[in-house]
Amino acid sequence: MSVLGGLEPREVFKYFEEICGIPHGSGDTKRISDYLANFAKERGLRYIQDESNNIIIFKPGTEGYENSAPVIIQGHMDMVCEKDNDCDIDFSKDGLRLGVKDGYVYAEGTTLGGDDGIAVAYALAILDSKDGAIPHPPLEVVITVDEEIGLLGAGALDCSPLKGKIFLNIDSEDEGTILVSCAGGVTAECTLPVSYEEESGYVTYKITATGISGGHSGVEINKQGANSNMVMGRILAGIDKLCDMRIITVDGGLKDNAIPRETIATIGIPSDADIESVKAYVDEMGEILKSEYRTTDADIKLIIEKGADTSRIMSKESTEKTICALRSLPNGVLRMHSDIEGLVQTSLNLGIVKTIGNAVELHFSVRSSVGSEKDELTDRIDTLISVLGGTMELKGDYPAWEYNPNSKLRDIMVKTHVKLFNVTPKIEAIHAGLECGIFAGKIEGLDCVSYGPNMDDIHTSSEKLYIDSTARYWEYTKAILKALK
């Protein structure tokens, strides 16, 4: 039974609901890619499906637009898969459980994938339109994979079949804002070898840092809220001062570009240590953190509880190196933009910490609109992790998207917005990464703009896609295509 069937625009929400029923997390895009290929095949539309699962679907221009310049409509098919601890959804097998409330669409206990499922839904609704119902130039609809883990699909895509120089990226979440520039970024994956020893004189405890708001590290990083991995480093350092504490495992975060909301460490406490002092310290730090993050993370809390018995603990040296890495590696906003008020220029997010075998892995999403600062930041990470005996590998490096002062597309979109809504949209740059930079580097003379309907709390289980905004920007998208004759 359809959950979104009664919503308008009906054709857009029809496809959005179908997309949500197909598992399509980053790195798991074959099924959604095949769905898009079958969509094109069933309608007799020419398409290209590459080895990475990227899809390009072509549609001729409608009557009167046959000889207009082609337009590229672009979004990505993968979503960030985050869920609440008590949610039993298996992202590799299950579709999302959609709901409608107070004017928005959400998914029960998980991310919604409005980023960027709404772009796919808009594109499919346009491609499915018949008899010139939506006037448009020749279309080249590009739906990429693995945007959320480093813009990998855009990086792998062969753009030679594309003839368009006008590029509509529908991957923004703030109605009334047109994006014209973004930061570049890279994922830095650090591996810190650790050693274990057998020791019977320790009692196991589990420490949990939770209740953190999290969010997209390119959008919410400027709020400077808590990062559960960094919080855990602080707590472990404090416990280590109270007794000969040893780490057993430390794990937190699911995506390098999502600010982690929960981190769990299992530790060994000497059986003759004053455990009540340790518990008192954890309780005290919980109150301190609530005060420090009262604005951004009011629900932050620390939990300490008895863990399962084990005699395998990290060596003292490995424990100290792990704590040093969690405490000393940089995190958060490092520099604000000098010319654009309120814009983050350089940042990084320790999105993942995980213990695997005899190593602790730390994954960072590094962003900057200045390439030299991005390189300097990864060099800093490499220097420190190397001193600790670890290694760093860079993945998914993508360029910044530079501002084009002579964008005709931007001017058309501003005029169309004013005509439709009697509101002049804001023209902004963004700290988050967008695929526009990669495409602009591959297609000479590309005129790019990014936009999209209102969404809140993307990359979290509180994600919302607003219905009225989706309807307005559906009309806006159709009007833009009509104006590009």
pLDDT tens for residues 435-475? 999 999 899 999 999 999 999 999 889 999 999 999 999 99
Domain holding 74, by residue range, is 10-183+400-483
Residue 337's pLDDT is: 86
Residues 276 and 320 in one domain: yes
* Residues in Cβ contact with 463 at an 8 Å cutoff, skipping those fewer than 6 apart: 106, 107, 111, 112, 113, 114, 115, 455, 456, 457
- For residue 130, count other CB atoms closer than 10 A to its CB: 8
Which residue out of 140, 147, 173, 373 is catalytically annotated?
A: 147
Domain count for the chain, please give it.
Answer: 2
> pLDDT at position 206, please?
97
CATH number of the domain at 361, please.
Answer: 3.30.70.360
**Which residue among the candidates 11, 78, 397, 447 is catalytic per the annotation?**
78
Report the pLDDT value the prediction gives residue 387, as an integer from 0 to 100: 97
Specify whether 328 is located in the same domain as 414. Answer: no
Q: Is residue 448 part of a domain?
A: yes
The verdict on 206 and 102 lying in the same domain is no
Model pLDDT, residue 293: 97
pLDDT digits (tens, 9 = 90+) for 75-122: 999 999 999 989 999 999 999 999 999 999 999 999 999 999 999 999
Q: Is there a single domain that holds both residue 144 and residue 275?
A: no
Q: Is 147 a catalytic residue?
A: yes
Q: Which residue has the tokens 């008590």?
A: 86
Please indicate, yes or no, if residue 5 is contained in any of the structural domains.
Answer: no
Same domain for 158 and 15? yes
Question: Active site includes 78?
Answer: yes
pLDDT at 131: 87
Q: Has residue 108 been placed in a domain?
A: yes
pLDDT value at residue 146: 95
CA distance 60 to 167: 16
Domain assignment present for 113: yes
- Structural domain contains residue 4: no
Residue 162 sits in the same domain as residue 17: yes
- Residues 393, 464, single domain; the answer is no
Within-domain flag for 423: yes
Same-domain check for residues 359 and 416? no
In three-state secondary structure terms, 18 is helix
Q: Which residues, given as ranges, of the chain have pLDDT below 70?
A: none
Residues 296 and 406 in one domain: no
